[in-house]
């Protein structure tokens, strides 16, 4: 069987994983919730430490979006535990110790990483930086892929989760850099009309002030 990163829209593969919070069954453990699974090259490395701190200090924001976090690397579980202890003992943000509260998968056999396509020989035998955003139906909604030498932007991952949820709730698409888009601000994009009738309905909605348009194919509306 080919080992590859699953495709967008596919169901997240079922697997049983050992974590710092015990054994979890994915995606069942997060049934009814969004979750973000992110891999990192190794414990006790500078860039990975900055990322874990960033995820932790935004953890409450993810939780408010009904979203859980779970990390992964090919280190053993005792290494994860010791690294988490080191972070709490040595890293402070705004004068407070950083305690990593989300679980980390210990994939020391490489089984999970191979199944998800996270190990690339040209980049070594450890995991590259990947992000899977998974919805409450266990469908993969987004995949971000980074080389080992470049840290991620956790605010962008948070923005993506919120954008998916707002888009679904409003039956709309999300523009560039939402909610700070240069053309439509914090509004969302109305899907393009697919028939003459829809164009007429759209023109009527414009007259009622329900939506605004640059043209019939480029319309936007406020978030409800």
Tokens 């039956």 label which residue? 171
Work out whether the CA dihedral 158, 42, 118, 104 comes out positive or negative.
negative
**Pick from 150, 154, 117: nearest CA to 133:** 154
Give burial (CB, 10 Å; 0-12/13-18/19+) of 193. middle
Q: Report the chain's terminal Cα–Cα distance, integer Å.
A: 45
Catalytic option among 17, 26, 36, 48: 48
DSSP 117: T
DSSP 184: T
**213 membership: H or E segment, kind and range:** strand 212-215
213 noted as active-site residue: no
Q: What span, in angstroms and rounded, lies between the C-alpha atoms of 45 and 200?
A: 58
- Phi/psi at 122 (5° precision): -70, -15
Residue pair 78/163 in contact (Cβ under 8 Å)? The answer is no
Residue 98 bridge partners (DSSP): none
Query: What's CA 92's distance to the chain center, in Å?
Result: 25
For the annotated catalytic residues, the residue numbers are 48
């Amino acid at each position: 069987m080919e080992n590859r990163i699953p495709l967008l829209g596919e169901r997240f593969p079922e697997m049983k994983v050992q974590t710092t919070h015990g054994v979890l069954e994915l995606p069942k453990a997060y049934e009814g919730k969004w979750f973000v699974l992110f891999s990192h090259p190794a414990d006790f490395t500078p860039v990975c430490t900055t990322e874990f701190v960033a995820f932790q200090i935004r953890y409450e924001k993810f939780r408010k979006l009904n979203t859980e976090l779970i990390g992964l690397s090919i280190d053993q579980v005792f290494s994860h535990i010791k690294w988490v202890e080191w972070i709490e003992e040595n890293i402070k943000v705004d004068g407070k110790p950083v305690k990593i509260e989300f679980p980390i998968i210990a994939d020391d056999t490489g089984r999970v990483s191979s199944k998800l396509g996270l190990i690339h020989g040209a980049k070594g035998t450890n995991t590259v930086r990947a992000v899977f955003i998974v919805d409450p139906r266990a469908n993969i909604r987004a995949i971000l892929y980074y080389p080992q030498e470049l840290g991620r932007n956790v605010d962008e991952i948070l923005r993506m989760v919120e954008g998916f949820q707002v888009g679904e709730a409003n039956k709309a698409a999300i523009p560039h850099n939402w909610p700070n888009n240069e053309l439509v601000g914090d509004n969302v994009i109305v899907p393009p009309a697919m028939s003459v009738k829809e164009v007429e309905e759209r023109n009527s909605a414009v007259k009622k002030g329900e939506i605004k348009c640059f043209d019939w194919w480029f319309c936007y509306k406020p978030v409800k």
